[in-house]
Amino acid sequence: MPVNILMPALSPTMEKGNLAKWLKKEGDKVKAGDVIAEIETDKATMEVEAVDEGTIAKIMVAEGTADVPVNQVIAVLAEEGEDASAAAKATPSAPKPQATAAPKAEASKSAPAQQASPAPTAAPKSNGSGGRVFSSPLARRLAKDAGIDLSRVSGSGPHGRIIARDVESAKSGGAQMRAPSAPSGGGTMPGVSVPSDDQIRALYEEGSYESVPHDSMRKTIARRLLESKLTIPHFYLTADCDIGSLLRVREEINASAPTDKDGKPAFKLSVNDFVIKAMAVALQKVPDANATWTEGAMLKHKHSDIGVAVAIPGGLVTPVIRHAEGKSLSAISNEMKDYAARAKAKKLKPNEFQGGTTAISNLGMYGVKDFAAVINPPHATILAVGAGEERAVVREGQIVAASIMSVTLSCDHRAVDGALGALLLAAFREAIEKPLSLMA
């Protein structure tokens, strides 16, 4: 019988994707492993591989189509020996996923729950602010038993519907919790007045602005950062670091870097490479700060997996340097350059920008002196790095010039309290001011 090829879930939080390009056309024969399409998410472009042999009988979603829901049928495959024309005429039925990208193996564990039930049989639950919360009957029962407010849970099912695995995730503390929201026509959140789009537009003269619709990346960034600020109790610690020794060591290392036959150096260290390694070392020295908060337990991480914010057109992505505490500065530098290039081309794989135990946001190259960054869940900390600059400092009663870099550590007070955050920042400062210690 015909095999339905579905829009794959390329990450645990993916709800929709853009079908960027078909690499096979109707009538083409495919075998397992053939790349048949390219899917764009908000942060990456991924290839979809066939897992069955057969003939592409019918393409259900044209290339260039945006916001295709996960698990929607995008094509029909006629199996070996099957009449492709007959398969093309068959009406797609509730299918099992058959075409997947590499990360789909992780997401497929939850696929049965996503397809568990059609539209809810009971009236959708109100979210308390005039909106409606769509959820499956099983999800509602599980939430009631666990005492979980469904209006605070983000759904991962079709069209944002809350399904059983969302409730299970909320019970374990791993759910994406939805911030209290205002009605679509305006209204208020508790203590906050939220004007509607029409009310905002009314403040400006018609024709005096261009309205640029939000793309999926900007929507995702807006949602996640709003959730972060509303659900994570942030506090901030700032320190000034003397990077004079770092700059001298960096210059010497780069000058002595080996070259290839074309005279190109094998690596070129940046200040940010030292920052990554120093943060990784600091987390190992203060292991209690290398943690993730969940409602049921504190996750204490063994390794320093450092996410590094990379600006890309329309937003940013945070690739993760895994086990950074054990990597050399040159390895971190080359890995970061590769990540940055592929991030800007939207070629990162989901496992390369998901997870991590902390993050670094560096705006020093833009001349920013200091700032405070928003924590990126599930991290408990993020380090905001400003520009290194010459400043007047007092040493032994004398005013001298020194190369100073200001950094601000944002902490989730649930996981990292004030004293613990101060210890982590002190360990970072010690490491960054003694760059030779980072060579080990």
Q: Six-digit token pair at 284? A: 């190992």
State phi, psi for 349 to the nearest 5 degrees.
-85, 150
DSSP bridge partners of 62: none
Place of tokens 């600006």: 311
User: In this structure, are strands 381-395 and 398-412 parallel, antiparallel, or unpaired?
Assistant: antiparallel
Phi and psi, residue 402, nearest 5°: -145, 150
Q: Which residue has the tokens 């709800």?
A: 15
- 31-42: string of b/e by CB count within 10 Å (b at 16+)? eeebebbbbbbb
Query: Residues 350, 44: contact at Cβ < 8 Å?
Result: yes
Our answer to whether residue 413 is catalytic in this structure is: yes
Residue 123: count other Cβ atoms within 10 Å of its Cβ: 7
Q: Please report, for residues 278, 296, 408, 437, the alpha-carbon distance to residue 267 in angstroms, rounded to integers and kept in the order given.
A: 18, 44, 28, 19
Mode of pairing for the β-strands spanning 306-308 and 320-321: antiparallel
Q: Which of 234, 301, 303, 413 is catalytic?
A: 413
User: Which residue has tokens 């080996």?
Assistant: 258
**Two tokens at 351?**
């496992």
| Gap between the Cα atoms of 422 and 173, Å rounded | 26
Who's near 91: CB < 8 A, 6+ residues apart? none
Query: At how many degrees (to 10) do helices 244-255 and 418-433 cross?
Result: 50
Query: Backbone phi, then psi, for 364, in 5-degree steps?
Result: -60, -35
Q: Which helix (H) or strand (E) holds 422?
A: helix 418-433
Buried (b) or exposed (e) across 223-242, using 16+ Cβ within 10 A? Answer: eeeebbeebbeeeebebebb
Active-site residue numbers? 413
